[in-house]
Each structure stands twice: as structure tokens, then as C-alpha cells.
Amino acid sequence: MRIDVLGVGFDNVTMAEAVEFGCRLLEQPGSHYVVTPNPEIVEVCRNDPAAMAAVNGADLVLPDGIGIIKGAAMLGTPLKEKTPGIEFAGYLMGKMAEMRRSLYLLGAKPGVAEQAAEKLRARYPGLSIVGVHDGYFQEDGPVVEDIRRSGADCVFVCLGAPKQELWMQKNAMATGARLLCGLGGSLDVFAGVVERAPKFWSDHGLEWFYRLCKEPRRIGRMMKLPLFLVHVRQEKRRR
């Protein structure tokens, strides 16, 4: 059973359980998708029923960061642990390399996915990256066709939220891939274009603050975090 945080149902799993489940989905016929909402995405979903449906329609819904963990605890329904999308992706690539599975990278500015592919091939020998495409395309058709032709088992869809969730909901089946993962800005990090907060900051629940210092233009988006906590408090009173 999922744990409801302001309408988004999160799977209550550890990182190890999430990765194991992801591997099982890779083995199952049909197409599946994973989403990793943070408080900002939950706030977007509250105002956008289509985004809410795409997020809740996922086969695996993972809490991306400390904000969701805090929110769930405040509501009296704690989640086991945070399972950041980028870390989930790292573990999954390790397993896919062992399982000799193939991956397609979709998203980010032109050139970034190629750079990410080069770095990931070096880090995960055995993982076959069978295609890449930037995230600034006009029509879905040719991109879906390229993924299908590549025969990829898994696709990392990094178009930002809620675009990537809506894209996966609509196109997952047509890509022919078993598993699609919506991973926001992860390709920028894998490519080395954007730096992830050092462990100290994320261990102390301050990754958001580190990111804000590095990219002050995110302030507008980050104001959704206190708003999220206000809404959680209201929900707690209502319950």
C-alpha cells in the first residue's frame, strides 16, 4: 500500500528494495515507469490533475529527497528512507551491467546525453548504452521510433517535471522498453555539467540549500518547499 503525501502515493521501500523491484520490472513483459517526486513536484501535481495522474500511474513512486520524508513523518505515516532518483539510477545501472541490459538516455541540452553516455560506459562496463537523444524535440514520434529501433531495455527520461512523467505515461508502451525512469536533471550530473551536493550536505538534509547557492535562479521553484510544508501542516490538522 502506498503512503499518501498530499495526493501523491509513495512506495514505502528502502533503496535496496526499490532497485530490486526495478530489476524485476525489467524482466516483466510490458512497459513500466518509475517516478521520483520531490516536494516541488508534489506541489505541481496538486494544481495539475494530469500530472497527478501521470505520477500516481507509475509502477514505482520514490521519494526523491528529505522534504517528502519529513512530510510523510509529519503526517504520522513515515516512509522508510529517501531514495533519490539519481542514486536509484546509479544502483540500477550497476545491476543492469551485471544483467547485460541496455539503456537509452533521453533528455538535457544537445550534447549532454552523449557526454553522459561516455562517462557511464566507463563507470559501468557491461552496460550497453544503445542510444541517446537531447530533450529539446518538437515531436514525440521520431524519438519514440529511435528508442524502439535501439531495442533498449531501459530508458532514462530526463525532461524535467512534469514533462517527463506525462511523456512516460503517454509513450512508454510505444518505445518497447521494459522500464522507463523519470530522472530530472540527472544527465547533467552524469555528464559532469552540473555538480551534485557533496555527501555532507545531503546527509544533513541540505542538498536543496547547496543547489540554491550554486543556482540562485532556482529560488522561485524552491519557494514551493516551504509551501509544501504549510500544506502538509494543513493536511495534518484536517486528518
Of 70, 46, 31, 63, which Cα lies nearest the Cα of 153?
Answer: 31
Decide: is 191 part of the binding site for ligand UDP (CB under 6 A).
no
Q: Which residues contact 64 (CB under 8 A, 6 or more apart)?
A: 36, 37, 38, 41, 82, 83, 84, 85, 184
What amino acid occupies position 181? Answer: C
What amino acid occupies position 168? Answer: M
Decide: is 214 part of the binding site for ligand UDP (CB under 6 A).
no
Q: Where does this chain touch ligand UDP (CB under 6 A) — which range of 27-35, 96-104, 179-187, 229-237?
A: 179-187
Considering the complex, state which of residue 97 and residue 143 has its C-beta at the smaller distance from ligand UDP. 143
Neighbours of 146 (CB within 10 A): 17
20-24, long-range: CB within 8 Å, 24+ apart, which pairs? 21/60, 22/60, 22/88, 22/92, 22/95, 22/179, 22/181, 23/92, 23/95, 23/96, 23/99
Residue 197 near residue 50, CB atoms below 8 Å: no
Determine the size of the site formed for ligand UDP (CB under 6 A). 14
Q: Closest residue (Cβ) to ligand UDP?
A: 135
What amino acid occupies position 235? Answer: E
Decide: is 39 part of the binding site for ligand UDP (CB under 6 A).
no
Using CB under 6 A, pick the residue from 2, 136, 204, 209 that binds ligand UDP: 136
Neighbours of 206 (CB within 10 A): 15
Using CB under 6 A, pick the residue from 59, 87, 165, 188 that binds ligand UDP: 188
Decide: is 162 part of the binding site for ligand UDP (CB under 6 A).
no
Decide: is 109 part of the binding site for ligand UDP (CB under 6 A).
yes
Q: Where does this chain touch ligand UDP (CB under 6 A) — which range of 16-24, 48-56, 157-165, 229-237?
A: 157-165
Decide: is 90 part of the binding site for ligand UDP (CB under 6 A).
no
Q: How far is the CB of 124 from ligand UDP (least distance, A)?
A: 20
Decide: is 87 part of the binding site for ligand UDP (CB under 6 A).
no
Q: How far apart are CA 17 and CA 198, in angstroms?
A: 24
Q: Where does this chain touch ligand UDP (CB under 6 A) — which range of 6-14, 48-56, 120-128, 185-193?
A: 185-193
Report the interface residues with ligand UDP, using CB under 6 A.
Answer: 107-109, 135-136, 158-161, 163, 184-185, 187-188
